[in-house]
Amino acid sequence: MVTVDVVEWRCESPLPDQGDGDGVTVGRLSRARPELREVLPRRLARNARGFLARGDEGYVATVGGRFAGWLWLSRVSHRDPWSGLRFRIAPDEAYSYAMWAEPEHRHLGVGAKLMASLLADAKDDPALTRVYGWVDADNREMQVLIRMVFGFTDVQQVRRARVLHLFGVQVPASDRPRFGPVSRAGRHSGGARS
Amino acid sequence: MADEITEVRQLLAEVAGNETADSIGDDDLFFEDRVIDSLHLVAIVDRFQTQFGIAVGGSELSPQNFGSIAAMASFLRSKRQSA
């Protein structure tokens, strides 16, 4: 069982400059712009079909034209089968998930560049006020990235469990506070939290 | 707090090199100014655990606590005082 920090980034927040160079290029993948599907490894292409079918948008990093990582943005409430977390989001919210950077390219800051691209688009979208994400409490690298580099802040904590390494389960009644995107009550249900 | 500043500066030197540590003032925002990167910061936070015996929670990872040598020294001092 794992403790998970549910975090948010407010769209009025400043974005750090990730700099250019290092050979990392980030492009968007969506139903309307499917070209980047060609660079996806076979093991990830099937996941992408499901994400795209939901209307989610992918941010795909490449180095020298080869897949280097990805990160996804959803504006649809749904349950993530891998983590087991069910995110319920309001119309002015979105949820970032599935960050992955190929190990051989992590030293290039692929994760940071992916997140910077996603948040830059969110910031430019007048319909969005915040982007949620989640990170295991003991994932030091991701904690540093999202908190120190991008300024994500705490919303809730919740616990999740993996079942036979096959799928995830959100532990019932483990959400604290009992208000937010992984709870039945939240801004998504008309709650008054700012 | 002079002792904590010395300890943090020494830790920074071990993680990022003497030249980097010597180039940073106590109040310089070294992470914001990109003098060190997130990988260095991960190593620093790990050292807080292994070297100082201080576990750093996610919500404690903030520029207020880790944004400068002085900030880290203050955080170290407060954790020791509350232990």
ipTM value, please give it: 0.81
Handedness of CA A93, A18, A150, A170 (dihedral sign): positive
Least CA distance to B46: which residue of chain A? A140
User: At residue A183, does pLDDT exceed 90?
Assistant: yes
pLDDT score recorded for residue A19: 63
Q: What is the pTM of this model?
A: 0.88
- DSSP letters spanning A71-82: EEEE-S-EE-TT
Do residues A24 and A110 make contact, with C-beta atoms less than 8 angstroms apart? yes
User: At residue A194, does pLDDT exceed 60?
Assistant: no
Q: How distant is the Cα of A154 from the closest Cα of chain B, in angstroms?
A: 7
Q: Which helix (H) or strand (E) holds A6?
A: strand A2-10
CATH code of B42's domain: 1.10.1200.10
Q: Which helix (H) or strand (E) holds A70?
A: strand A66-74
User: Are B42 and A140 an interchain contact pair (Cβ–Cβ within 8 Å)?
Assistant: yes
Domain spans of chain A, in order of start: 2-189
Write the CB contacts of B49 (distance below 8 Å, at least 6 apart in sequence).
B55, B56
Q: Which residues from B are below 8 Å from A when comparing CB atoms?
A: 31-32, 34, 37-39, 41-42, 45-46, 57-59, 61-63, 66
Q: Does A2-189 carry CATH code 1.10.1520.10?
A: no
pLDDT score recorded for residue A81: 76
Mean pLDDT throughout B26-34? 79
User: Are B62 and A148 an interchain contact pair (Cβ–Cβ within 8 Å)?
Assistant: yes
Q: Which of A194, A188, A191, A190 has the alpha carbon at shortest distance from A78?
A: A188
User: Are A148 and B37 an interchain contact pair (Cβ–Cβ within 8 Å)?
Assistant: no
| pLDDT confidence band for A82 (50 / 70 / 90) | confident
Handedness of CA A104, B55, B37, A113 (dihedral sign): positive
Mean pLDDT throughout B59-72? 91
3-state secondary structure of B66: helix
Number of domains in chain B: 1
| pLDDT confidence band for A193 (50 / 70 / 90) | low
Token duo for residue A168:
């995830």
| pLDDT confidence band for B83 (50 / 70 / 90) | confident
Q: Which helix (H) or strand (E) holds A44?
A: helix A42-53
User: At residue A20, does pLDDT exceed 70?
Assistant: no
